[in-house]
A and B are shown apart, each in its own frame.
Chain A
Amino acid sequence: MRQGEISLAGLLALFSLYLMWKSTELPIGYIRGEGPGGGFWPFWLSFGMLLSCCAVAWKWWRGKTPASVSDEPLMDSFGWLTVAHVGGGVIGFVALISVVSMYGAVAIFLVYYLRFLGRHSWLLTLAMASILPTGLFFFFEGAMQISMPQGLPFTQPFFDLMYDIIY
């Protein structure tokens, strides 16, 4: 935890410096007759972020935060594995949207989570993986008139069928 806190503060300080540099693409000072330039507000806010990181580092050095005096690891192997499974699942879900459509990705994600992480029965898994995407389809495409990504062309027959039901 101790090493993690200062590493994170360092990383955030670097990001703050990047934002300060990026803000200077627009004027950061006062322009007569026009007021503060477009970079003024983000520049000084990024500077505020940098100062905050310095304050965090100062408190870390003086051992004033719980993390700075902790010898415990950030997470044990179970924690890392859980984060990898759940976080990885969400990343996979979003990545699949462009391939199998939003509703296809929802179904696959539900099968992955309910069956493989949640260890629920196939019956419940398949019921959820078919009812929820269908319900979402009718809610968004039918009631709210919001079109979701349809993925690659091979999903089109499915959408044609569903649109026939709505319209």
Chain B
Amino acid sequence: MEVLSFLADGVLMALEPINLMLIVIGVTVGLFIGAMPGLGSVNGVAILLPITFLVPPASAIIFLAAIYYGAMYGGAISSITLGIPGASTAVATTFDGRPLALQGRASLALVTAALASFVGGTVATVFFSLFAPLLATVALNFGPPEIFALMLLAFATFVGLGGDDIAKTVFSICFGLVLATVGFDTISGEPRLVLFDIQGFLRGIGFIVLAIGVYGIGEMIWTIEQTRGEITTTNPKMTAKGLASDAKEAVRRGWKGTWIGSILGFFVGVLPAAGATPGSLMSYGVAKMVSKTPEEYGKGSPDGVAAPEAANNSASTGSMLPMLTLGIPGSPTTAILLGGMVIWGLTPGPRLFIDESEFVWGLIGSFYISNMVAVLINLAFIPLFVWMLRTPFTILAPVIFVLSIVGGFAASRSMHDLWLIVIFGLGAFFLRKFDYPLAPAVLAIVLGPIAEPTLRQSLLLSSGDPMIFFNRPIAGPITVIAIILILLPAVKLLRRSRRVAPD
């Protein structure tokens, strides 16, 4: 009952005119920043942080959290309409969102993404309200072996994502992970894999460089070559009735993915250093695994859009939990929020819920309000995003190329990275010609910087004994499940070949 009373006070605080106005502005700004390839919530929060010193701390964090929410919704827009994941959290949304858009069902994809994001965010906020202190303790038990086991589980789901050619999927995963090691060895500080001794590689290779290369350049050249320039991208008709019917279809065909994403996303998001990207990926993998029609995934399944979208919103709320209760940011965006809190004179940690309960519950209350505002604003803008797709492809294509290059530069500020984007784009085109799946590489480059240090720290802890991943109570079962998942396609293949042999 005490929680409900605190929550009611928090919601009332979030509904104060200044806070409500900041929520509406924050969500709208976040939506458009998130929709821009190359820019994500971290850019929006970082750029607008100085503005928040004009308002009280509670209003300031409510504003920044609203930007965070808006950007999470916005990430799906570029994934679906342009086929370019604006942020790593929206990579998995591209898998089914883009095919739906190409089938002329962009509005269904966008409505599914909006509703799933709303459910994901709301479920996570309820969990947040009820279990905050308990979950903080569980998250604290996650050391390097547990986090590495979780990464292994994420990679295991990649094998399922890559279709039948396991060798090419494994190549793609390893390639993405190797790219993530370029630059400096984070532990010894020595230069590592400075390819062909080109100094630009000392900066490393960012996720966005590979993602824009693969999806922004490679995918576009592929589409133009395959369709011979005569692209009937989509002919969407957008009416209020159509929107309502899409909403019904989204609920009917996307509910399973929404629930999987909402629950799984939150628990992955709570883990320090995990965040929304592994959450969305794992939710996609699990939704595909438990689906009765896994063959529909990758071809335009609403469940395939709902799972990652629900998960990334759920995880973004979850990642606030270690930030508030332990002072550990769960994602780059929460790291900036944490910095802001310190500047505002607040000390994140276990005592925050006691010493600054009004602030904490005001923030939690704002999550509920932000979610409602975000889904309404997002649905209101869907006709605009769908209208974009009516543009002839010979106009849309150069605009996508321009946004890819400009967005790529905005994210990295380096000409070296722009050339890498072009090389990755052309390389991706030829790899795709020979059925190499590229999504696992993009996801691996995101998870690589988490996987490597946790593996090395774990082996250091165990003096080089890999059994550390098996004999710990949390890491053990996760590792075993991951290994089963990795071996599953091989077993299936073996059984299939045995069945064919007698025939």
Listed in ascending order, the chain A residues whose CB lies under 8 Å from chain B are: 1, 4-5, 8, 12, 19, 22-23, 25-26, 30, 34-42, 45-46, 48-49, 51-53, 55-56, 59, 65-67, 74-75, 78-79, 82-83, 86-87, 89-91, 93-94, 97-98, 102, 106, 109-110, 113-114, 117-120, 124, 128, 132, 136, 140, 144-146, 148-149
Contacts and interface: CB of A to CB of B under 8 A. Distances in A.
A42 B406 contact: no
Contact of B225 (A75, A93, A97, A128): A75
Interface in B196-237: 217, 220-221, 224-225, 228-229
B457 A4 contact: no
A45 B190 CA distance: 19
Contacts of A120: 394-395
3 smallest A-B Cβ distances: which pairs?
A118-B394, A35-B460, A38-B185
A39 B185 CA distance: 8
Contacts of A19: 178, 193
Contact of A38 (B188, B228, B402, B434): B188
B39 to A, nearest CB: 7
Given A36-B459, A53-B167, A102-B406, 9 more contacts: A12-B171, A23-B192, A38-B192, A42-B192, A42-B193, A66-B435, A90-B405, A93-B402, A148-B406
Contact of B181 (A41, A52, A113): A41
Contacts of B464: 30, 35-36
B165 A65 contact: yes
A67 B395 CA distance: 33
B426 A41 contact: no
A136 B171 contact: no
Nearest to B185: A38
Interface size range on B against A: 35 or more
A56 B401 contact: no
A94 B455 contact: no
Interface in B411-430: 413, 415, 418-419, 421-422, 425-426, 429-430
A98 B414 CA distance: 11
Contacts of B457: 35
A106 B228 CA distance: 24
Contacts of A94: 405, 415, 418-419, 421-422
B174 A110 contact: no
